């Protein structure tokens, strides 16, 4: 009979660029106000990458923090899964760029395009790869430089997005280690993919003068419709994972949802009757960083001492596609 292994989080790291874009800054750029933004989203500020910083640069800094936390060296990493919708370029993949910057050697490096669910997708795939014995230490990255895809004349989208990077290293658990991943569930519903799109830049609509004239290089979203799908998809994925493990919300010490909108977070917690004080929320100071929101919040919760070894943590996300997923693990 084949031997199966368990995976655990051996280290996390995150990086947020130094520059802040506050709501008061946005008041000078578009017709909006600090109070209106806070009421609708819960966001006060968001981090913005410097002109010379790319997505791989943010991930590089976060990765070294995770390696230090895990007491691992670069050469210990044997695979990279990089979740992003704002890659350095279409090709080569940003995972390959990061592999070269780190000096990892000839290891697997793969980009994952699942928008805001990207980190949960990467986390789940890494766990499966470790379970079957293919790899021992997998670097899972969620990183974005989203502000370059935002139209700062469109107030409904420009108020939401910021830049950042978060990483987690999943490692094979030793037999005497209690930390492990219980299970995960991923899904997608392409029938509502038009709710959140970046029209230009692919084979369907390459860059052209028309693209620039019509602003098709910027993200477009239908916020009200997204809200409904977001709450339903995150709760359904989470309920499925809990049922699979014969657990309830009472067994979960911390919930880390995708940080899209404070009202979405509150609605998910209310559905589960989950106390807000046990939900990791940092949207006020970070905004929506897509694939980076969950790993940044996870790293923050670990480093400030809220999340402790032996506690049960649930991740849940939704994103453009629509993609969705949840993962449950003992840290």
Q: Which residues are catalytic?
A: 116, 258, 288
Whether residue 149 contacts residue 86, with contact meaning beta carbons closer than 8 Å, is answered with yes
Q: What separation in angstroms does the CA of 284 have from each of 8, 64, 74, 183?
A: 29, 26, 33, 30
**Tokens for 1?**
């009979």
> How far is it, in rounded angstroms, from Cα 131 to Cα 115?
25
- Which residue, among 224, 60, 212, 219, has the nearest Cα to 147 in the 3D structure? 219
> How far is it, in rounded angstroms, from Cα 223 to Cα 236?
20
- Which residue, among 224, 62, 68, 65, has the nearest Cα to 145 in the 3D structure? 62
Three-state SS for 88-121 is CCCCCCHHHHHHHHHCCCCCEEEEECCHHHHHHH
């Amino acid at each position: 009979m084949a031997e199966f292994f368990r995976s655990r989080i051996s280290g996390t790291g995150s990086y947020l660029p130094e520059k802040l874009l506050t709501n008061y800054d946005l008041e000078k750029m578009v017709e909006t106000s600090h109070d209106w933004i806070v009421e609708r989203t819960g966001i006060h500020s968001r981090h913005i990458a410097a002109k010379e910083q790319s997505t791989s640069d943010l991930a590089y800094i976060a990765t070294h923090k995770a390696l230090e936390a895990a007491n691992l060296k670069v050469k210990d990493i044997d695979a990279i899964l990089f979740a992003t919708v704002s890659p350095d370029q279409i090709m080569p993949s940003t995972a390959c760029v990061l592999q070269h910057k780190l000096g990892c050697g000839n290891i697997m490096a793969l980009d994952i395009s699942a928008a805001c669910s990207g980190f949960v997708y990467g986390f789940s795939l890494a766990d499966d790869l470790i379970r079957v014995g293919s790899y021992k230490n997998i670097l899972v990255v969620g990183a974005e430089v989203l502000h370059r895809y935002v139209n700062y004349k469109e107030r409904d989208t420009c108020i939401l997005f910021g830049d950042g990077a978060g990483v987690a290293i999943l490692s094979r658990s030793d037999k005497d280690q209690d930390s492990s991943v219980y299970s995960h569930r991923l899904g997608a519903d392409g029938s509502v993919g038009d709710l959140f799109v970046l029209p230009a830049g692919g084979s369907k609509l390459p860059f052209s003068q028309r693209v620039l004239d019509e602003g098709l290089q910027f993200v477009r979203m239908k916020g009200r419709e997204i809200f409904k799908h977001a709450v339903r998809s995150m709760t359904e994925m989470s309920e499925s994972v809990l049922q699979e493990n014969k657990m309830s919300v009472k067994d979960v010490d911390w919930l880390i949802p995708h940080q899209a909108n404070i009202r979405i977070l509150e609605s998910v917690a209310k559905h589960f009757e989950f106390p807000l004080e046990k939900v990791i929320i940092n949207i006020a100071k970070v905004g929506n960083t897509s694939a980076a929101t969950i790993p940044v919040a996870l790293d923050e919760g670990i480093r400030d001492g809220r999340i402790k070894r032996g506690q049960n943590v649930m991740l849940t996300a939704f994103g453009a596609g629509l993609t969705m997923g949840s993962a449950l693990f003992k840290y």
